[in-house]
């Protein structure tokens, strides 16, 4: 928290002298110290010298005479990653808003801005502790990934301001709202475009439309894709709204599901010459213990994790399903190598290892499409929600494999499922 008597020091970049005078006058009346600039170049020269050490917040427009505010924000973040940035602009373009929010901007206000709102937003940002107003890459990408749900960000921000942010409640609203939106026809640009194409096609004698077979094929393909997305969102809804029935089973049944899946996905494994290896079952001593699950949803968990491994592994590589047994429960690991050159030598950054479970986040937008995955950024989120419903946890790790002569970086998804309380 800021000390009550400390002076708030503001950097203001605004090319319109009258607006600059207005804003600085408003803030000075509140006892703030305002340093004004009209050009990006002079502001950056000033920042390069002091590195924001004596300032508390930056306010900037997006339209500047010698550049744009987005570039300005990026330059600020190179110098100081923590200082709060407040954007004031006349643009309401969602894409531009998203691009700016990607750079860890704390506030985005549309002109005209009421004086009391400007003062309120500044004081709100500075009333928080440093690590509360600093947007990490983790938080930033959660916002950016919801490009078509900007109202979700507004809702989240409002809950943070009120101090009653509830992650489960957010997920419920998020998935329910998105599924409803998609069910009503929004969100699938290809389908919309195809409908427009169909409308322009030749008319039959009876007034109907003659649809080209290629167009019909595209329409059917995208309709099937849309249904898969809606079905997955409905499955997530069932999980978070407690609509699935749970039962107790032996750890051996989990092992059997792994074996069954390997048989089912052989055609997918052969696409890139992948091998799925499952070591011998060594849990006979714990067969009397029970794990809480739902078989249908557990199968979907395994399938999603294996699909993810196949999509991002290198060709002709091995994927491992491994079961380990502990006093409190079992550990199920899915291990695979990296096929993406970005991660081969160092693995995935720690921030991204957390992000991959967030709704709509994707490490790579261009994946091997023949596996038939949704590529919508909800698969691993579904896995995490379902594992938690079983009372378990899931985490992702980078591993160093020293088995071969040259060490290899791999990724492990590790699920922990506890024994039911009556069986421990």
Residue-wise pLDDT tens digits, 74-104: 888 888 877 889 988 877 666 677 677 777 7
| Residue 169, CA distances (Å) to 65, 100, 132, 152 in order | 44, 27, 20, 12
Spell out the alpha helix ranges (H) of 213-250. 213-240
The more confidently predicted of residues 140 and 307 is 307
pTM attached to this predicted model: 0.55
Given a contact cutoff of 8 angstroms between Cβ atoms, the answer to whether 93 and 68 are in contact is no
Q: What are the contacts of 163-172 at 24+ separation with CB within 8 A? A: 168/240, 171/240, 171/359, 171/385, 172/240, 172/241
Q: Band of the pLDDT at 183, cuts 50, 70, 90?
A: very low
Given a contact cutoff of 8 angstroms between Cβ atoms, the answer to whether 141 and 361 are in contact is yes
Q: How many CB atoms lie within 10 A of CB 15?
A: 15
Every domain of the chain and the residues it spans:
9-159, 175-240, 247-418
φ and ψ at residue 309, rounded to 5 degrees: -65, -45
pLDDT for res 253: 95
**Which residues in 283-300 are b (16+ Cβ under 10 Å) and which e?**
beebeebbbbbbeebbeb
Q: How far apart are CA 52 and CA 407, in angstroms?
A: 43
The more confidently predicted of residues 375 and 14 is 14
pLDDT for res 137: 46
φ and ψ at residue 80, rounded to 5 degrees: -145, 115
Average pLDDT over residues 177-190: 46
pLDDT for res 336: 94
CATH topology of domain 9-159: Rossmann fold (3.40.50)
Say yes or no to pLDDT of 129 above 60.
no
Say yes or no to pLDDT of 1 above 70.
no
Which run of H or of E encompasses 37? strand 33-37
pLDDT for res 269: 94
Of 130-144, 159-173, 364-378, where does mean pLDDT reach its minimum?
130-144
Q: How far apart are CA 277 and CA 269, in angstroms?
A: 11
Say yes or no to pLDDT of 135 above 80.
no
Residue-wise pLDDT tens digits, 322-380: 999 999 999 999 999 998 888 888 888 887 887 888 776 667 644 445 666 656 678 89
380 by Cβ neighbours in 10 Å (0-12 / 13-18 / 19+) ranks as buried
Which CATH code of 1.20.200.10, 3.30.830.10, 1.10.357.10, 3.30.565.10 fits the domain covering 247-418?
A: 3.30.565.10
Say yes or no to pLDDT of 57 above 80.
yes
Q: If you average pLDDT over every residue of the chain, what do you get? A: 78
The β-bridge relationship of strands 67-68 and 63-64 is antiparallel
Contacts of 422 (CB under 8 A, 6+ apart): 290
**Around 297, how many Cα atoms within 13 Å sit in the side-chain half-sphere?**
27
Helix, strand or coil for residue 203?
Answer: strand
3-state secondary structure 70-134: HHHHHHHHHHCCCCCEEEEECCCCHHHHHHHHCCCCCEEEECCCCHHHHHHHHHHHHHCCHHHHC
Of 170-184, 280-294, 322-336, 347-361, where does mean pLDDT reach its minimum?
170-184
- As a 3-state breakdown, the chain gives helix, strand, coil percent values, each rounded to 5, of 50, 20, 35
Helix, strand or coil for residue 399?
Answer: strand
């Amino acid at each position: 928290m800021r000390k009550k008597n400390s002076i708030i020091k503001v950097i203001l970049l605004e090319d319109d002298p009258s607006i600059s005078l207005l804003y600085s006058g408003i803030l000075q009346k509140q006892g703030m110290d305002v340093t004004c600039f009209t050009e990006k170049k002079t502001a950056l020269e000033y920042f390069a010298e002091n590195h924001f050490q004596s300032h508390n917040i930056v306010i900037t427009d997006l339209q500047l005479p010698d550049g744009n505010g987005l570039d300005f924000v990026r330059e600020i973040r190179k110098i100081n990653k923590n200082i709060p940035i407040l954007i004031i602009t006349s643009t309401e373009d969602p894409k531009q808003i998203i691009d700016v929010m990607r750079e860890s901007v704390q506030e985005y206000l549309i002109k005209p801005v009421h004086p009391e709102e400007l003062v309120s937003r500044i004081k709100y940002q500075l009333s928080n502790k440093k690590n509360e107003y600093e947007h990490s890459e983790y938080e930033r990408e959660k916002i950016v990934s919801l490009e078509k749900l900007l109202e979700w960000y507004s809702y989240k921000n409002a809950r943070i301001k009120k101090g009653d942010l509830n992650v489960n409640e957010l997920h419920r609203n998020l998935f329910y709202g998105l599924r409803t939106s998609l069910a009503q026809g929004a969100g699938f640009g290809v389908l919309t475009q195809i409908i427009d194409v169909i409308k322009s096609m030749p008319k039959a004698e009876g007034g109907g439309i003659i649809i080209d077979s290629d167009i019909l094929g595209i329409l059917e393909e995208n309709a099937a894709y849309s249904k898969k997305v809606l079905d997955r969102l409905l499955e997530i809804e069932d999980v978070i709204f407690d609509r699935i029935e749970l039962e107790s089973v032996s750890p051996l049944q989990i092992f059997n599901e792994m074996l069954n899946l390997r048989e089912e996905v052989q055609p997918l494994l052969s696409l890139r010459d992948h091998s799925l290896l499952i070591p011998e079952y060594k849990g006979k001593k714990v067969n009397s213990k029970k794990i809480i699950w739902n078989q249908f949803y557990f199968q979907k968990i395994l399938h999603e994790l294996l699909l993810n491994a196949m999509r991002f592994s290198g060709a002709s590589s091995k994927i491992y399903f491994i079961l380990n047994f502990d006093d409190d429960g079992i550990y199920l690991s899915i291990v695979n190598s990296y096929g993406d050159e970005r991660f081969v030598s160092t693995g995935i950054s720690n921030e991204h290892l957390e992000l991959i479970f967030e709704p709509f986040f994707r490490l790579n937008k261009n994946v091997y499409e023949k596996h038939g995955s949704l590529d919508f950024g909800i698969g691993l989120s579904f896995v995490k929600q379902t594992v938690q419903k079983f009372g378990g946890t899931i985490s992702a790790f980078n591993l160093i494999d020293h088995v071969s002569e040259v060490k290899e970086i791999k990724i492990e998804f590790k699920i922990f499922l506890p024994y039911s309380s009556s069986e421990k």
